[in-house]
Amino acid sequence: MRSDTMKKGIERAPHRSLFKAMGYTDDEINRPIIGIANSFNEIIPGHIHLRQIVDAVKAGIRLAGGTPVEFGGIGICDGIAMNHIGMRYSLASRELIADSVEVMAQAHPFDGLVVVPSCDKITPGMIMAILRLNIPSIVITGGPMLTGNWHGRKVNLISVFEGIGEVRSGKMTEEELCQLEDEACPTCGSCAGMFTANSMNCLSEAIGLSLPGNGTIPAVSAKRIRLAKITGKRIVEMVSEGLCPRDICTEKAFRNAIAVDMALGCSTNTVLHVPAIAHEAGVPLDLDLFNEMSERTPHLCNLIPAGPHSLQDLHLAGGIQAVLSELDGKGLIERDCITVTGKTVGENIEGVQVADRDVIRPCDDPYHKEGGIAILHGSLAPDGAVVKQSAVAPEMLRHEGPARVFDSEKEAYDAILAGKIEKGDVIVIRYEGPKGGPGMPEMLSPTSAIVGMGLGKYVALITDGRFSGGTQGAAIGHCSPEAAEGGPIAFVREGDKILIDIPQKRLDLLVDEEELKRRQEAWTPPEPRIKTGYLARYARSVSSGAKGAILED
């Protein structure tokens, strides 16, 4: 066993002595030792209940004859970090999370690993770590929050963000916003809707790193506790079998994950995280694969925020396995990929049927013929930009309008709330990319304000930063190269015409090349916003959003 490195032989008597200082018996030390990375904390609703999940995982490990060893991990709540300096640390935390799991599992050579994340950067960070380590590992997340109910309609965190714009535009009173605030997030769990956390939790199941049900079983369901126990039992079996993450995360498995991504209409942040995960797996993954899979894969699920259905609705309709089964019926799934069950995708979905055709549409009658995400290229984004096309109003799929240019998110947000944005405008927020932000902050506040003020069908927003999975509308992020690296977005001026053509996958700045060249020659990069500490080091090493914002040597 791998753990023999720290526990076997006379030379390891001091090591065993330290285990015994914590109360471990000889029997426990001699069994397979399974590390559990628990990202529990008291600042994220998706993590507040993870002690209970981890206790169930431990029970399963012990039932199967293993010894669980728990350690902690950090996590940022994107909602609480939103629209202030905290958001600059969110994406950057993904690398710290991956590094910390690697450090713990190498310093203490566990035989297997169970990672227990739940929210936005924690799930991809931990998945990156297990692929880097490549020891038997399995993912069990905390599960989605239930939706709230306010005056008979489903509400969630995004409803509150949009409520700010509604108050400013006179559509809602401050008292009503306070009532909404009380009802929007009624339980623990990752925020209700196909936002980034639930997107990545569903994709962990689609790619085969977690057991069936992981992506959609509600956080408050006893079924998730049972799943956690089964996960604990299964990891001990995987240690005996020698089944490791890189056996699972092959090129075909990534195609399956991206197909499910398109069918669900997942967060645009998956275009950052999936390539970063593939990088750790040693699998080349070109950004254009997202367009290839989008053109082949219909959008089957109209989930919050773009549509009416919740993660609980998706679970009751059959969950991720039912989505895989539906796609498989049209030959869109690689059936022979192995998963943590020890079986192939094809074996896992044998006999699985869709239980609710309103929630999971047939491939022959989809919500949209193409998948939820599109990668745009053009003179404004030579290396690409990303949009959740399934959440764009039909009126905005093709749009030409004047640029309203802002060099920070705050400037743009203040202008929106002050009523300075008009129908037809194209808001450009720059110097918010991985290097320029630094940290590529999410722009949920501006996009929610646009929707809340009734401009969602008339205004576009383009940024070298990124958007929350809760964003809807013509919100185009990851514009690459970013402004801080001298990308074309740095040379846009107030009033320039910008052409957005999502069906043709185009994003163009309608300024002639000679003028752009003059602007480029006159441009100088701005001083870094943050010059010390982790974010300064991060900004020096982080790659383009087009490469998944991975750290480069």
Catalytic residues: 468
Q: Compute the distance between CA of residue 373 and CA of residue 376 in angstroms, rounded to an integer.
A: 10
Helix (H) or strand (E) holding 95: helix 90-107
SS3 112: strand
Tokens matching residue 155: 């509400």
Q: Residues, the chain, total?
A: 553
DSSP class per residue in 256-295: HHHHHHHHHT--TTHHHHHHHHHHHHT----THHHHHHHH
Q: Single out the residue of 139, 116, 129, 126 nearest to residue 55, CA to CA.
A: 116
Residue 70, H or E segment: strand 67-72
Write down the residue that tokens 């979905």 correspond to: 349
Determine the 3-state secondary structure of 199 from DSSP. helix
What are 452's strand-pairing partners? none
Q: Is the peptide bond before 438 cis (omega within 30 degrees of 0)?
A: yes
Terminal Cα distance for the chain, rounded: 33
Q: Is 305 exposed, middle or buried (0-12, 13-18, 19+ CB in 10 A)?
A: buried
Paired residues of 475 in beta bridges: 461
C-alpha span between 375 and 480 (Å, rounded): 11
Asked whether the beta carbons of 387 and 475 are under 8 A apart, the reply is yes
Q: How far apart are CA 471 and CA 454, in angstroms?
A: 14
d(Cα 527, Cα 352) in Å, to the nearest integer?
A: 56
Helices and strands in the chain, H and E counts: 22, 14
CA gap 388, 194 in Å, rounded: 11
CA distances 460 to 45, 291, 424, Å, are: 31, 21, 8
Sequence-distant (≥ 6) Cβ neighbours of residue 455 within 8 angstroms: 421, 423
Report whether 301 contacts 264 (CB < 8 A).
Answer: yes
Give one DSSP letter per residue of 377-416, joined into a string.
Answer: EETTEEEEEEEEGGGS-GGGSEEEEEEEEESSHHHHHHHH
